[in-house]
Amino acid sequence: MKHRNTKTFARRNFMKKIALSLAAGLAPGKVLNAQNHAKESDKSFVPVMLTPYKNNKSVDYSGLESLTDHYLAAGAKGFFANCLSSEMYDLSPEERLKVTETVVRRVNGRYPVVATGSFGDNIGEMVAFSQKLVDIGVDAVILITSHFAQEDEADDVMIGRLESFLEQTPAMVLGTYECPNPYKRVLSLDVLDFLLNSGRLVYHKDTTEDIGHIRKKLRLSQGSELGLYNAHIGSAVASLRAGGAGLSPIAGNYYPEIIAWLCQYADDPAKKAEVDWLQEKVRMMESRITVNYQLSSRYFLNKSGLNLELVSRRATQPLTDDQRQQIDLAFAEVQNWKTSLGI
């Protein structure tokens, strides 16, 4: 089905901010500067942001600013605040807003910031919270797919609830996220087609771990303004080469500069061997580093120069000595990758 052209509507400002990663006046693929003649990709690393805490488990907003700066320095071209990695279900409504606002202010319009808005016991409450996110300056409000239907409910029920949400938010730019909590509801092609025809969908965080289904989504969304951001590190490069807009994996909370590099060079024929080599490295690394994710990611980031407390509202156990040792070894290995690739 042909979808409406929304270039003058939903995604114009969203994509304009992504384009700010390029040198002034240069389009994707043009020379960035005379020093390195690097080609700028139109693929974007959009981190799924952690929420730093103080020792008493209150939100560390200063730490969040430092973390945002770290992502920026690593090459992020967008930000997903108030997501599952942010422990959104463990934040109060006020904290969700303040966390998002902190990121919006720190990024200061340079790149798009998106955040989850579909909180509430009914569509009206979801609309009200989503509007608060718009008021603080997010570029798109993210809808959790499983917030719009129970696990045993059919797609037509989900579409009906989404339609109600859309009717009450006529000017709101939107995204979707196949969040595994409360349960993972993969966006079917029928539901995706409905959303695409609203002309308002700009971001989709895909967690299917199924490159075949990803390719179907990409084919369906051709000609629309939707950008698909793959969360699955094992199919990262394949999704980028198939037309995905970027990556939003949890690996970006360990080595964001590596994920940004993959986005930069996935389509570069001159870098194909290095990209394929790195894809296999990050695939194999994933299971080693993501045990006790909320704490191990903080520990890894601290080795990169941050000063985050090893505190999480979601983690039930502290890092063990063995987990720390695994991260130490992984960190050293990643430094070797960076040396080999000139990162």
Cα angle, residue 32 at apex, residues 236 and 42 outer, rounded to 5°: 30
CATH of domain 12-284: 3.20.20.70
145 vs 186: CA distance, rounded Å: 7
Tell me the pLDDT of the chain (343 aa) as tens digits: 434 444 334 455 565 565 554 333 322 222 222 223 345 678 999 999 999 999 999 999 999 999 999 999 999 999 999 999 999 999 999 999 999 999 999 999 999 999 999 999 999 999 999 999 999 999 999 999 999 999 999 999 999 999 999 999 999 999 999 999 999 999 999 999 999 999 999 999 999 999 999 999 999 999 999 999 999 999 999 999 999 999 999 999 999 999 999 999 999 999 999 999 999 999 999 999 999 999 999 999 999 999 999 999 999 999 999 999 999 999 999 999 999 999 9
Residue positions annotated with a catalytic role: 177, 205
Domain coordinates in residue numbering, the chain = 12-284
Beta carbons within 8 Å of 39's beta carbon, 6+ residues apart: 29, 30, 31, 32, 268
Residues of the chain by 3-state class (helix, strand, coil), percent to 5: 50, 10, 40
H or E stretch at 116: strand 113-116
pTM for the whole structure: 0.90
